[in-house]
C-alpha cells in the first residue's frame, strides 16, 4: 500500500477553516492593539504639563489691559511643587478661564526680572491675585490645595475679599537657578534669597 502525500478530500476543508480562523484571530488582535495604541497616545497628549499650561496662558500684557481679574503664577520648569500642581491648575483654568486671566511667568526668563522684583518673588510657586485693573490684591507662596485656590478665585471673580490671600504657607521650591543678567544699582536678585529691600 502506498501512502500519498496528498491530503484526503475530507481534510482539505478543515485545513482551510483552521487557516481562516488563525488569520481572523491575527486580524482582530492587530485591530485591538492599534486601537489601544491610538487611544493611549491621545490620552498621553492630553496630560497637561507646565510647558503646555505656559504656552496656552494669557500674555501678561493682555491680562493687564482686558478688564478681567488675573491669577498670576511665577513658576519654573524644574520646580517640583509647580509640577505637582499642574493637574489642579489645568482643571481650574478649564473652569474659570472665561472669567479670569491665567498668566504664567517663568522665573528663569530674564525678561520677567522687573515683575520678579515688583512682586518680591523669592520662592515658587508664587501666586498673585490681581483685580481687573491689574492691582495686586493678595498673594500666596508654595503649593496650595485646590480648595483654597478655588475659594480665592471665586472671591477674585466676584470682587470679594480673598479668604486665603497673603498666605506664605505650603510647600515651595527655592529659587536656585543661575541668574546671568546684570542688575542695576543696589537691587537684589529675587532668586538669591537675599534680604529684600
Between helix 86-96 and helix 146-157 the angle, nearest 10°, is 30
Q: Are 163 and 176 in contact (CB under 8 A)?
A: no
Residue tagged active-site, from 79, 107, 155, 156: 79
Q: How far apart are CA 33 and CA 146, in angstroms?
A: 37
Q: How far apart are CA 101 and CA 59, in angstroms?
A: 9
Nearest to 87 by CA among 138, 4, 165, 145: 145
DSSP string, 75-118: E-TT-HHHHHTHHHHHHHHHHHTTTSEEEEEETT-GGGHHHHHH
Q: Are 144 and 172 in contact (CB under 8 A)?
A: no
Q: Could you confirm whether 69 is annotated as catalytic?
A: no
127-136 CB burial, b ≥16 within 10 A, e <16: bbbbebebee
Q: Could you confirm whether 67 is annotated as catalytic?
A: no
Residue tagged active-site, from 53, 57, 82, 113: 82
Question: 174: helix, coil or strand?
Answer: strand
Any idea which residues carry the catalytic annotation?
A: 79, 82
Amino acid at each position: 500500500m502506498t501512502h500519498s502525500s496528498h491530503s484526503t478530500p475530507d481534510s482539505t476543508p478543515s485545513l482551510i477553516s483552521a487557516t481562516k480562523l488563525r488569520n481572523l484571530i491575527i486580524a482582530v488582535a492587530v485591530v485591538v492593539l492599534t486601537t489601544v495604541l491610538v487611544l493611549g497616545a491621545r490620552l498621553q497628549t492630553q496630560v497637561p504639563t507646565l510647558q503646555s499650561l505656559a504656552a496656552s496662558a494669557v500674555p501678561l500684557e493682555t491680562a493687564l489691559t482686558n478688564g478681567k481679574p488675573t491669577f498670576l503664577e511665577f513658576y519654573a520648569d524644574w520646580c517640583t511643587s509647580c509640577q505637582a500642581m499642574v493637574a489642579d491648575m489645568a482643571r481650574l483654568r478649564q473652569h474659570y478661564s472665561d472669567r479670569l486671566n491665567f498668566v504664567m511667568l517663568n522665573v528663569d526668563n530674564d525678561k520677567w526680572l522687573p515683575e520678579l522684583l515688583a512682586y518680591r518673588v523669592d520662592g515658587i510657586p508664587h501666586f498673585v491675585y490681581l483685580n481687573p485693573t491689574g492691582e495686586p490684591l493678595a498673594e500666596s507662596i508654595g503649593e496650595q490645595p485646590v480648595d483654597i485656590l478655588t475659594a480665592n478665585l471665586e472671591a477674585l471673580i466676584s470682587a470679594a475679599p480673598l479668604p486665603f490671600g497673603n498666605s506664605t504657607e505650603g510647600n515651595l521650591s527655592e529659587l536656585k537657578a543661575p541668574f546671568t543678567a546684570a542688575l542695576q544699582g543696589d537691587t537684589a536678585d529675587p532668586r538669591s534669597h537675599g534680604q529684600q529691600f
